[in-house]
Amino acid sequence: MRPWHLWLGFIPFTQAQATVGGIPAPPGVAFLYNANITVGLTVDVGAIPAGNISVIPVIGGALTGPKISGKILAIGADWGLSTPQGFYYSDMRAQIRTMDNANIYVQMTGLMQGNNGVVYVRTTFQTGHKDYWWLNYAFTFGTMRASGTGYVVDMWYLTA
């Protein structure tokens, strides 16, 4: 096998990384969507060696943003882990169906420290739909907060 760093010579970099005050310029960030996720009754798995697992079913919802809008199907859940150190690890699987009928599989993971109510999340998307193909390699991040009937999620993505 050729060492990986030798392959770098073939990557067609066309621009030097811009710098600000001698440090790399931060990447651009754009708003992806706001989502309201409705949840069902929690299923308590109980204490495992790492903490307590609670399964919070996803039973519906909606999302809207500049490039994507649709509904959240009643498929999936958040397999949340509460640890003795006071962390909450979110591990959600869900399905989006866009207004124009693209099906997008969503995997969201995140972490809440203590009880400020904000889970910082990352999401990966998988879809074969050509209009949303870019989501397969979008680098996204956001926040998830509890609301009356579920969660409110705000997501952003890096543009460069």
Ligand X SMILES: *[C@@H]1O[C@H](CO)[C@@H](O)[C@H](O)[C@H]1NC(C)=O
Alpha helices in the chain (DSSP H): 4-7
H or E, element range at 53: strand 51-64
> Which of 33, 45, 40 has the alpha carbon at shortest distance from 59?
40
Place of tokens 């999340």: 121
Q: 83 or 159: whose CB is closer to ligand X?
A: 83
Check binding of 63 to ligand X (CB under 6 A): yes
- Report, in Å, the least distance between residue 150 CB and ligand X: 10
Minimum CB separation of residue 149 from ligand X in Å reads 10
Please tell me whether residue 62 binds ligand X under the rule CB under 6 A: yes
Kindly give, in sequence order, each residue whose CB lies less than 8 Å from that of residue 160, ignoring residues fewer than 6 positions away.
27, 28
Find the binder of ligand X among 29, 43, 45, 47 (CB under 6 A).
47
- Give me the least distance between CB of 4 and ligand X, in Å please: 41
SS3 of 137, please?
A: helix
Distances (CA, A) of 64 to 3, 26, 89: 44, 26, 25
User: How near is the Cβ of 19 to ligand X at its closest, in Å?
Assistant: 38
What's the CA gap between 3 and 153, in Å, rounded?
41
Site membership for ligand X, residue 118 (CB under 6 A): no
Interface map 94-113 toward ligand X (x if CB under 6 A): --------------------
43 scored as a contact of ligand X (CB under 6 A): no
Residues that bind ligand X (CB under 6 A): 34-36, 47, 51-52, 62-64, 82-84
